[in-house]
């Protein structure tokens, strides 16, 4: 945590590093699967760059390294190498043996994430990773559950690690195809709902086009588009007037980068809430159909809106590149996250619903630490709710770490060595 992050070699920096060292002395990091074939990388407290191209051959070497260096962040490669410590990267890659398939969901992709509290971000991301894991990875893609592992990142999101033999040799292009499927980028409406000609006019030799809207129980993206339609229509029905409904569609278009303009949003709302005696939207829910009872058929823009409610957004700074990169470094489970003090840890899939990172990933002790609070705030951590006012106050060490690392507090002037 160098000067660019707001810390010099201060007593606060020493406090943060000592907290990590004390932790690793008591709770060693459990080495990942095939750790001797992985490259390791570490970002030190007070440092300005990562140190990587490190390899370990024995667990005792990992234990000693973490205790002696107490890194701020710890990573290992998703790839397996014949010689993981070899440099430069071009030479190391010649010994590439395969790579895990990784999915990274972080709060940086959430709409209005900056307006959410930390706990709100975590809850929202958990909803997303649940859909990603169960609806896409295990269901649609059919990847084996026994080779699929879910990890809390220690920060603002989750990582899904897939170590199934069938994915290890996938190149970046194959992994990109998976990303395209999950994000809905690869959805082809003309394949899912093929067009057909109807109402032929022999005089003018013209006809109308309709779509064959298959049933939702056909599964895959057909089912997901139906689900997205239900969410979209329900939310529009909750809005009282058509002007606000148009604005809602415009906001969704902007958030999802759909580029659907104002006039098209007005047309969609007109078809749903004005034409067809104004009950087309309700009929789409009650009858579970796509045709909306007006003279204008459902077009691609409405379907794209439906897709946006069923796809997984992997547009964050790291989310999508992590999946397509076959030599990426990922956070090491069992290590501590330098910006929160929380533990990077595996979450059993069946317990995801009840998993609370601010309770279950708290790994530092609750020894009282006197802090000087910069600005009043509220926090939920360690199973407690904290209301912090400006001034000096005792808080558990795990919360003290979190607040200092996020520059919301400093150690009291009475702290030893201050």
Cβ atoms of 265 and 249 within 8 Å: the answer is: yes
The owner of tokens 């989310």 is 319
Q: Are 158 and 319 in contact (CB under 8 A)?
A: no
Strands across the sheet containing 73-77: 51-54, 40-43, 73-77, 329-331
Q: Is 63 a catalytic residue?
A: no
- Of 100, 271, 313, 319, which is the active-site residue? 319
Please tell me the distance from the alpha carbon of residue 265 to that of residue 277, in angstroms, as a whole number. 19
Q: Quick one: three-class SS letters along 49-80? A: CCEEEECCCCHHHHHHHHHHHCCCEEEEECEE
Nearest to 157 by CA among 331, 387, 372: 331
The answer to whether 212 and 192 are in contact (CB under 8 A) is no
Q: Which of 100, 106, 271, 313 is catalytic?
A: 106
104: annotated active-site residue: yes
**Which member of 22, 83, 104, 190 is catalytic?**
104
Structure tokens at 252: 């969704």
Residue 104 CB partners (closer than 8 Å, separation 6+): 153, 157, 158, 159, 314, 316, 318, 319, 322, 323, 330
Output DSSP code: residue 180: H
Quickly count: other Cβ atoms within 10 Å of residue 274's Cβ: 13
CA angle at 32 for the pair 143 and 166, rounded to the nearest 5°: 25
Q: For residue 106, indicate whether it is catalytic.
A: yes
Residues catalogued as catalytic: 104, 106, 319
């Amino acid at each position: 945590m160098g000067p660019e992050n707001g810390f010099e070699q201060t007593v606060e920096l020493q406090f943060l590093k000592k907290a990590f060292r004390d932790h690793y002395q008591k709770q060693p990091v459990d080495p990942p699967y095939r750790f001797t074939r992985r490259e390791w990388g570490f970002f030190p407290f007070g440092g300005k760059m990562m140190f990587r191209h490190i390899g370990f051959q024995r667990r005792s070497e990992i234990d000693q390294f973490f205790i002696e260096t107490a890194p701020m962040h710890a990573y290992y490669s998703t790839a397996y190498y014949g010689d993981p410590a070899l440099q430069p990267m071009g030479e190391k890659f010649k010994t590439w043996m395969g790579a895990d398939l990784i999915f990274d969901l972080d709060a940086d992709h959430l709409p209005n994430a900056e307006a959410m509290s930390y706990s709100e971000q975590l809850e929202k991301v958990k909803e997303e990773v649940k859909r990603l894991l169960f609806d896409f990875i295990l269901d649609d893609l059919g990847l084996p559950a026994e080779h699929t592992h879910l990890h809390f990142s220690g920060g603002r999101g989750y990582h899904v690690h897939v170590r199934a033999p069938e994915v290890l040799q996938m190149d970046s292009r194959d992994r990109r195809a998976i990303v395209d499927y999950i994000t809905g980028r690869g959805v082809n409406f003309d394949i899912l709902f093929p067009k057909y000609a109807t109402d032929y006019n022999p005089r003018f030799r013209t006809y109308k086009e309709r779509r064959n809207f298959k049933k939702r129980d056909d599964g895959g993206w057909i089912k997901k588009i139906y689900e997205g339609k239900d969410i979209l229509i329900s939310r529009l029905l909750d809005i009282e007037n058509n002007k606000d409904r148009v604005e809602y569609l415009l906001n969704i278009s902007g958030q999802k980068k759909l580029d659907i303009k104002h006039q098209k949003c007005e047309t969609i709302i007109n078809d749903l809430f004005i034409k067809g005696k104004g009950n087309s939207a309700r009929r789409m829910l009650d009858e579970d159909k796509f045709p909306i009872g007006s003279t204008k058929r459902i077009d691609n823009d409405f379907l794209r809106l439906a897709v946006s409610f069923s796809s997984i957004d992997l547009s964050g700074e790291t989310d999508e590149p992590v999946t397509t990169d076959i030599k990426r470094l990922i956070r090491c489970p069992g290590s501590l996250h330098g910006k929160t003090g929380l533990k990077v840890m595996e979450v059993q899939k069946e317990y995801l619903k009840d998993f609370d990172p601010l309770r279950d990933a708290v790994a530092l002790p609750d020894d009282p630490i006197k802090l000087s609070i910069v600005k009043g705030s509220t926090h939920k951590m360690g199973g407690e709710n904290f209301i912090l006012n400006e001034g000096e106050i005792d808080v558990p060490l795990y919360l003290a770490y979190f607040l200092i690392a996020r520059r919301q507090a400093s150690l009291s002037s009475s702290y030893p060595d201050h």
